């Protein structure tokens, strides 16, 4: 079940009411929400913009003070370059200076073949495919870098982070798409934005809207270690609840 809500304190009881069989709730972008106490905190920080070098809003992008990083059990350095070496890795760990009980992992982004928003049919891109990218995420840099490897021609419509699409947005998207002269053209969006666009199936059914699936790959062979920490936490928590 996917729930979208600004007020986590209201949304969680509602989710549990609607789905009483829910066992685990994963919150996205909730580290700064003090009203909700998580049993396991995972802090994500971009490799090219570590929280140690950033500032709190509005001077920077941080939504909480740097010192709050001490609350995290796990820190994941995200969007690393594929060839990040051990020397660079160790420099980053030294800069973050984790507490003894904190675990640090590194991850990179991997994209796979786009699929149709509604039919789920896969689409294999080629350099001649003209793409209109619809994007409402905070930092689309890695997405643009990935597109450069798939297609030589694309246009972009960038919306604010967590943007909720409306009918006027759809009109603008359709208008922009119809301006593209190529016969081989598609609309491409992120998985997060695909969820928000899915409710407009009637309006978009005649347009080739595809989703660009993303995967975060844990690096340096630490996949199992990361999974084991999560599994151990769930097992320990289930035992606590059972007592």
| 91 and 133 belong to one structural domain | no
pLDDT for 239 equals 66
Q: How far apart are CA 116 and CA 177, in angstroms?
A: 16
Which residue, among 101, 52, 93, 45, has the nearest Cα to 73 in the 3D structure? 101
Backbone angles phi, psi at 197, to 5 degrees: -90, -15
pLDDT for 243 equals 55
For 27, the 3-state DSSP assignment is coil
Which residue, among 131, 103, 137, has the nearest Cα to 232 in the 3D structure? 103
Each of the 243 residues of the chain gets a pLDDT tens digit; together they read: 777 777 888 888 998 999 999 889 998 888 887 778 889 999 999 999 999 999 999 999 898 999 999 999 999 999 999 999 999 999 999 999 999 999 999 999 998 889 999 999 998 888 889 999 999 887 777 888 888 877 778 899 999 888 899 999 999 999 999 999 999 999 999 998 999 999 999 999 899 999 999 999 999 999 999 999 999 999 987 766 655
Which residue, among 92, 62, 98, 91, has the nearest Cα to 78 in the 3D structure? 92
| 144 and 163 belong to one structural domain | yes
| 100 and 129 belong to one structural domain | no
Is 238 part of any domain?
yes
Is 202 part of any domain?
yes
pLDDT for 240 equals 65
| 201 and 156 belong to one structural domain | yes
| 148 and 84 belong to one structural domain | no
Is 186 part of any domain?
yes
Asked if 132 contacts 159 with a C-beta cutoff of 8 angstroms, the reply is no
Is 4 part of any domain?
no
User: Residue 233's domain spans which residues?
Assistant: 39-110+216-242
Q: How far apart are CA 106 and CA 233, in angstroms?
A: 20
Asked if 134 contacts 189 with a C-beta cutoff of 8 angstroms, the reply is yes
Q: What CATH number corresponds to the domain at position 197?
A: 3.40.50
pTM: 0.80
| 144 and 99 belong to one structural domain | no
For 28, the 3-state DSSP assignment is coil
| 132 and 208 belong to one structural domain | yes
| 206 and 117 belong to one structural domain | yes
Q: How far apart are CA 70 and CA 41, in angstroms?
A: 10
Is 144 part of any domain?
yes
Is 75 part of any domain?
yes
Q: How far apart are CA 223 and CA 107, in angstroms?
A: 10
Alpha helices, DSSP H, located in 108-204: 141-150, 167-179, 191-197, 201-204
| 119 and 147 belong to one structural domain | yes
Is 2 part of any domain?
no
| 92 and 122 belong to one structural domain | no
| 154 and 190 belong to one structural domain | yes
- If one counts the domains in the chain, the total is 2
Is 136 part of any domain?
yes
Element (H, E) at 90: helix 86-96
């Amino acid at each position: 079940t996917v729930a979208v809500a600004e007020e986590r304190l209201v949304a969680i009881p509602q989710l549990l009411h609607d789905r009483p069989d829910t066992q685990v709730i994963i919150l996205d972008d909730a580290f700064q929400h003090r009203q909700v106490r998580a049993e396991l905190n995972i802090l994500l920080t971009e490799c090219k913009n570590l929280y140690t070098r950033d500032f709190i809003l509005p001077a920077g992008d941080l939504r909480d003070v740097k010192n709050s990083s001490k609350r995290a059990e796990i820190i994941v350095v995200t969007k690393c370059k594929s060839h990040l070496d051990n020397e660079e890795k160790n420099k980053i760990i030294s800069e973050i200076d984790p507490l003894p009980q904190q675990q640090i992992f590194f991850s990179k982004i991997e994209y796979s073949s786009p699929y149709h928003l509604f039919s789920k049919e896969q689409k294999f891109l080629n350099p001649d495919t003209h793409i209109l990218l619809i994007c409402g995420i905070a930092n689309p840099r890695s997405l643009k870098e990935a597109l450069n490897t798939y297609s030589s021609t694309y246009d972009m419509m960038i919306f604010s982070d967590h943007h909720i699409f409306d009918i006027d947005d759809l009109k603008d998207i359709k208008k922009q798409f119809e301006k593209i002269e190529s016969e081989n053209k598609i609309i491409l969006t992120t998985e997060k934005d695909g969820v928000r666009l899915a409710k407009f199936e009637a309006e978009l059914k005649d347009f080739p809207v595809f989703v660009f699936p993303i995967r975060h790959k844990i690096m340096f062979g630490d996949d199992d270690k990361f999974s084991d920490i999560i599994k151990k936490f769930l097992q320990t928590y289930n035992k606590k609840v059972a007592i």
